[in-house]
Each structure stands twice: as structure tokens, then as C-alpha cells.
Chains A and B, each alone.
Chain A
Amino acid sequence: MTRRRTKVLRPLDWAFPPQPIERELLHVAADEPADRPPLLFVHGMNHGAWTFAEHWMPAAADQGWDCWAVSLRGHGGSDGYDGLRRWKFRDYEHDVMQAIIEMPRPPVIVGHSMGAQVVRRVLQRYVAPAAVLIAPPGGRVGLGVMTRFARRQPATFTRALAARPVQLDDSDLFGPEMDAAAARRYCDRMTPEAPLAQYEVMVRPQPVGARSPVLVLGGGEDALVSVFDMVAAARLYGTRPHVFRGMGHDLMLEPRWREPLDLILDWAERTTKR
């Protein structure tokens, strides 16, 4: 099977470019500048750049990594809430590209959940020194996520099918070790997702392969993305996933958030060393 790793023709982007927008780009500068690429975090459904600012960005900056996180349009501190019904992955991809051009050098791109799917699109047009896919919803398509979502939250799922913006529940996002009050607090900060992007997460075939080295990881107790999904995604990049037993979907907010971060930083350090 011939797999295109590169997308040359983008007639839709040439004729109908994504709408310009004001977006939030959080930055935590490295404690002491080291000769390392910056890290760029891309959040998933309902989340925002803030989810990485909780623990990961300050901790990584402490270890000498320049950290950035972008809020996709209609999320976190970015504009675009009024256009929620129009936004698609193509717009999110544009948001990440616009964040990339603000970086002093090519970043290691870290995408979580739906953000991982957006990063996969970015990798088709941009050669990052390395990329990390956290809890990617499936290989080519997110049918597994769709089935699990439908079974766990039939009412919410039906609303998503009816093109209503929906929000995931704290029972879907966190593992058994998570403190219930913290989980509730995080969920209160989340915002509904763009309906077309919801469809794209579940049924749109995602790009395959990249010219950047890719790391895949996720939580063993993830209620939405199964280990099987992670294996399927990793296989498309010639690798295997690292699974953190006992952790849920939002690894960066869980009590043991330091373990996956350490893995990411170690791997990024080794992979991008010149």
C-alpha cells in the first residue's frame, strides 16, 4: 500500500483559507536556556491551553524546556466561540501552524486526544524535530472511541450526532486515582466542542505517517481511548505505545502527571539531540 506522507495539493486552503482569529498562546520560558527545541502543547476536545499550564509546563520549564501551549479557536482563552458551528480540523490545524510560526525554532509538538489528531495533520505539512501523540483516538478512524462514547454517555452521544456541541464528563476523563473535587473543578473550566470537529474525531480518516519521529502514549484506565486504539495509531508511525497503568484520559491533570511527562522529556531529549 502506498501511503502518502506528504500533502502537496491544498486547493481548499488556497481558495478558502481559514478565518483569521485571535488566539491564546501560553509561554513558560525555560529556567535556564538550553540548546533544545521548544515544546508546543495542543489540547483536545473541550480542553484549552490551561490544561498543560497546570502541571506540565512549569515542571518542564524547570528542567530547561521552553514551553508553549496554544488554545484552538473556540477553546480556552482564544476567540471564536461564536463560530463554533463552523470550525473543523482544518481550522484547528491552521491554529497550530500559526502558533508554530511564533516559535524561535521548530518545536517538539505534543498533542493530546483530539489534539493528537490535529497534530497528525500538522505533521503532513511541517517536519517537527519530534512529535508526541497522547491518547490518540484510534488509527485511521476513531470508531472505537465512538462506540465507547455511545455506550457510556448515550444521551450526550445522541446530541453529538445531532450536531450539538457537547462536553465530556469527568467520569470519562479521569482515572480511579483522581481526586473527585479536582476532577469537578477541571471539568467546570471546559467548554463545548465544535460539532463538525466532533464528527471528525469519530469518523474522519486521519493522515498516516510522518517524517518526524513519533512517540505514542496513554493511560491504561482511559475510558474513551483504549490501548487497542493507541496500538493502532502507533503502528501507523512504526512504533508502539507506552501505557501508564492506572491512569485515565487526561494524563497531564492526573495525580501521577509527572510520570508521563518524564517519559516525554527523556524521549524528546534523546530523539532531538544533535
Chain B
Amino acid sequence: MSDGTAGRYCVIGAGAAGLTAAKNLREHGFDVDVYELAEVVGGNWDINHPYSRVYESTHTISSPPFTQYPDFPMPDHWPDYPHHSQIGEYLRRYARHFGVYDVIQFSTRVERVEPVDGGRAWDVTVRTGDAAPRTLRYAGVVICNGHNWYPKLPSYEGEFTGQAMHSAEYKSPDVLRGKRVLVVGGGNTGCDIAVEAAQNATATFHSTRRGYWYAPKYNLGKPNDQVSDAVFMLRLPTRIVQRIFETTLKLTTGDLTRHGLPRPDHRILETHPISNSQLVYYVGHGDITPKRDVAYLDGDTVHFVDGSVEQVDLIVWATGYLMHFDFIDDRHLNWQDGRPHLYLNAFPPAYDNLFVIGLLQPDSGLFALMHWQAQVMARFLAAQRDGSPAADAFRRERDEHLEERQSGGFHYVYSTRHHLEIEHMDYMRTLDRVVKTLEAA
């Protein structure tokens, strides 16, 4: 342990979450060190970066009004669904504007995070490049290492002798050309890759466990998320909101069972929303053959649960990602039943100086939510520093509502995919209430 870091806060990761965590802590008068594994901020959005999970065609699936940080809007002339390289540029501009670059140590891996005296402070072991590891003592730690980078791979019986890859390694449609391709997974990535396969591969099969609601990216001439927010604004009962969205989809996308897609086994927004205008289009053109779940693999063939068999050259597992924190003990994050149990997905019950920012899977853009998470964190720390009664009020709120999920009344289908699922309006209203609590004193 070395001195000189007393009273400082450690932020792990300089992506969209780490940048706003550092910026908001500094805004409230705290000293911050940010450790970033890459040589750049927002490495996920830089396709050349080894930990990046974007592919050449990745665009956002939400539009700027809710996606952007509220105090740093995206430029007016950007499109409704910016390209991933623009999001990278946006994060660099944000970091430059708010002076976050001054406090980032690049090419530095966080190897270990351990509490001191039951959490009075934290010892953080970091290693820059090939240098020897150093351990520094911090007043608190903010975990911002992301949750969409550690691939989740399914296991099926039998052995596949063709080529297989997780979508994490998928970069461009070049790998699809001239092949018979099976894309497994009905998330936004799986749908994107299925569309690219339809445009490039010889044959495309798209396997999903269940039927989903496929929302188009535009609705009534506006980006779909802005239309949804107009409906959410009315604060109608959940059932009625679902009815409105389902009716809209029936009138626009139509009956999907006609194309051989399974009927959704759940109401809309009970699974993470899919925003893709092209998937149904290519299914309708016969360029994508919808498939049920995989039953087993056999040589270069795949057997599906409905008994059908297809010869396949390439399988792309678009089966998502798992949360992964290898530098801190699970118990500090209150892991139970395979996931951390945190107040607002950000605040562990046992510590007042350990936080996770951005650990959310919202039905919307994410940056605005992370901004307000970071604001709540910074205000809570400021209240502790200033001896304000608001700190106790926040602790009470945290302990009482620890298990509450801001689901907006939707009952999510059980899957690891929905461990972090929240409904953004419900979540924002909760954050608004908490900010009020912290501002009252």
C-alpha cells in the first residue's frame, strides 16, 4: 500500500459509465483516479480495440434524446441512430470537455479490490503494462467495467464440426459470404447479424428460443423510442401501455406467424425490446428462415427441437454476455442466485463507499440513466462528507427498497438476460425521488 491516495476515489474503467462517474464525483469536489485497461476512453466503441464488442455496422438502437448525457447533448446534426464510431467520438468529447482525461491512467488493469477494516477504505491493486503491481488505498471504489463483454456460450449435446463463433468476435459480414449460416439468439445483436447474413450468406437460419415482439426503428415518422416515451409520459396503467404497443405493432409489423415465426409467449416488454426494422423484412423475402431452439449438433448438421435438420457451415452464437467481476469477491456485491442484489442495481447494502455504475439493461438508451446514478452516488458521498442528515435518509431508502426492481409493472421472463432489466421511466422516477431526498437537507 502506498500513501498519497487518502480521501481519493477509484473508478474502474473509462467507458460511458466510468467517465460520467468520474465527472460527477469531481463536480462534487472529490478527487478521482480512473484506471482504464485500454489506451483510449470508450474502448467498446472502437472496433480496433481487443475488448470492443461492436461490428462494422453497429449503430445505436435508441435515439439521442434519452441516450445522451443530459448535460452534454449529442450534436444536432447527428442522425437518429448514430454509428458506433460517433458514440466513441461523443465519449472523447465528453471526457475532454469535463477534463476527465487529466485523471485517467491508461493501459492499467485493476487486479484486486479488497476492503480495509470492513469497508472503511479499499485497497486497490493495479498493474500498468508489464510493471510490477501496486496497491493503493482509496476512500471508495466505483466499478464501471461493463457487463456486455464476457461472452455467454450455450452448451448443446453433440459436436459441431463446422465453424463457430460468438457474436463477440463478429466484426464484419466478410465471414458470412458464401456460407450457410445459423445465427442463434433473438437479441438485438442476433437480429443485426441475421440481417447481415441475409444480405451476404448463401442461406440464413435464425434460431430463437421463443417468439419475440420485433419493433421497427421508426414509428409514425419518429424514432420508435421517442414514440414510446410519448406513451410512457401519459403514466397509463401497464396493461394499457402494453395494449397500445401491441396494437401498434400488429398494425405496422403485422402477424409474424404468417412468416413461420413463433407467436410471442409473453406480453410486450416482458422481454428486452428488440429494435430492428429489417429482420421481418428479410424473413418476408425468404432470405432468413426462422428456426426454433437447437436440439443437438451432429457433424455439420444442426437438429432443431421441431425435428427439422439443416446443414450449416457457420454458427454465430449471439447468445449474449454475462456479468463478470474477477477483481472483487462476490460477497461484497451481495451476490445471490447468480446475480448481485444492489439497490437500484448500483448500491450494495453493506457499504457506503462501493458502487457499480451502468449495471443496467434498460428498454432505452443508457447514458442518461448512468448520469443520474452517478449523480446520486456523488450526492450521497457529499452528504456523508458534510455530515448531512440526507445521508441517513438515503441509507434508509436503500435498505428498505433493496429488493425493489424498477420494472414499471412488467413481469420479465426469467433468463440471465433479464437479470439487469429495468423499465427506464420507472427507474428515472425512482432516481428523481432519491435525488430529491438527497437535496432536501
Q: Do A and B come from one complex?
A: yes
Say whether, besides A4-B439, A10-B70, A15-B229, A101 and B93 are in contact (CB < 8 Å).
yes
Interface residues of B (CB under 8 A from A): 27, 64-66, 70-77, 93, 96-99, 226-227, 229-230, 232-233, 372, 375, 425, 428-429, 431-432, 435-436, 439-440
Which residues of B sit under 8 angstroms from A6, Cβ to Cβ? Answer: 375, 435, 439
Q: Is the interface of B mostly helix, strand, loop or mixed?
A: helix
Asked if B435 and A13 sit within 8 Å, CB to CB, the answer is no
Which residues of B sit under 8 angstroms from A21, Cβ to Cβ? Answer: 76
Asked if B72 and A8 sit within 8 Å, CB to CB, the answer is no
Asked if B372 and A8 sit within 8 Å, CB to CB, the answer is yes
Q: Which of A5, A15, A103 contacts B226 (CB 8 A)?
A: A15
When C-beta atoms are compared, the residue in chain B nearest to A95 turns out to be B76
Bound-state CA distance A5–B438 (Å) is: 11
Which residues of A sit under 8 angstroms from B431, Cβ to Cβ? Answer: 8
Bound-state CA distance A2–B390 (Å) is: 14
Asked if B77 and A20 sit within 8 Å, CB to CB, the answer is yes
Which residues of A sit under 8 angstroms from B99, Cβ to Cβ? Answer: 105
As a 0/1 sequence over residues 80 to 108 of chain A, the CB contacts with chain B under 8 angstroms (1 = contact) are 00000000000000100110110111100
Which residues of B sit under 8 angstroms from A20, Cβ to Cβ? Answer: 76-77
A 1-37 contacts with B by CB, 8 A: 2, 4-6, 8-17, 20-21
A187 proximal to B (CB < 8 A)? no
Bound-state CA distance A101–B70 (Å) is: 11
Interface residues of A (CB under 8 A from B): 2, 4-6, 8-17, 20-21, 94, 97-98, 100-101, 103-106, 125-127
B392 to chain A, nearest CB (A): 18
Q: Which of B74, B77, B96, B428 contacts A8 (CB 8 A)?
A: B428
A75 to chain B, nearest CB (A): 16
Q: Which of B71, B93, B233 contacts A127 (CB 8 A)?
A: B71
Bound-state CA distance A9–B73 (Å) is: 15
Bound-state CA distance A21–B77 (Å) is: 8
Which residues of A sit under 8 angstroms from B73, Cβ to Cβ? Answer: 94, 97-98, 101
Which residues of B sit under 8 angstroms from A105, Cβ to Cβ? Answer: 96-99
Bound-state CA distance A114–B226 (Å) is: 30
Asked if B76 and A98 sit within 8 Å, CB to CB, the answer is yes
Q: Which of B96, B97, B429 contacts A9 (CB 8 A)?
A: B429
Bound-state CA distance A237–B439 (Å) is: 16
Q: Which of A2, A9, A97 contacts B428 (CB 8 A)?
A: A9
Taking A20-B76, A104-B96 as known contacts, 10 extra A-B pairs with beta carbons closer than 8 A to each other, sorted by chain A number, are: A6-B435, A6-B439, A8-B372, A8-B432, A9-B428, A11-B232, A15-B226, A15-B232, A100-B72, A105-B97
Which residues of B sit under 8 angstroms from A4, Cβ to Cβ? Answer: 436, 439
A225 to chain B, nearest CB (A): 28
Which residues of A sit under 8 angstroms from B229, Cβ to Cβ? Answer: 11, 14-15
Bound-state CA distance A103–B428 (Å) is: 28
Bound-state CA distance A13–B73 (Å) is: 11
When C-beta atoms are compared, the residue in chain B nearest to A127 turns out to be B27
B288 to chain A, nearest CB (A): 32
Which residues of A sit under 8 angstroms from B233, Cβ to Cβ? Answer: 11-12, 15
When C-beta atoms are compared, the residue in chain A nearest to B234 turns out to be A11
Which residues of B sit under 8 angstroms from A13, Cβ to Cβ? Answer: 65
Which residues of B sit under 8 angstroms from A106, Cβ to Cβ? Answer: 97-98
Q: Which of A5, A16, A94, A98 contacts B439 (CB 8 A)?
A: A5
Bound-state CA distance A13–B429 (Å) is: 15
Q: Give the 10 A-B CB pairs with smallest separation, nearest first.
A: A20-B76, A15-B230, A8-B432, A15-B229, A17-B65, A11-B233, A14-B229, A126-B71, A14-B66, A14-B65
Which residues of A sit under 8 angstroms from B226, Cβ to Cβ? Answer: 14-17
Bound-state CA distance A9–B99 (Å) is: 26
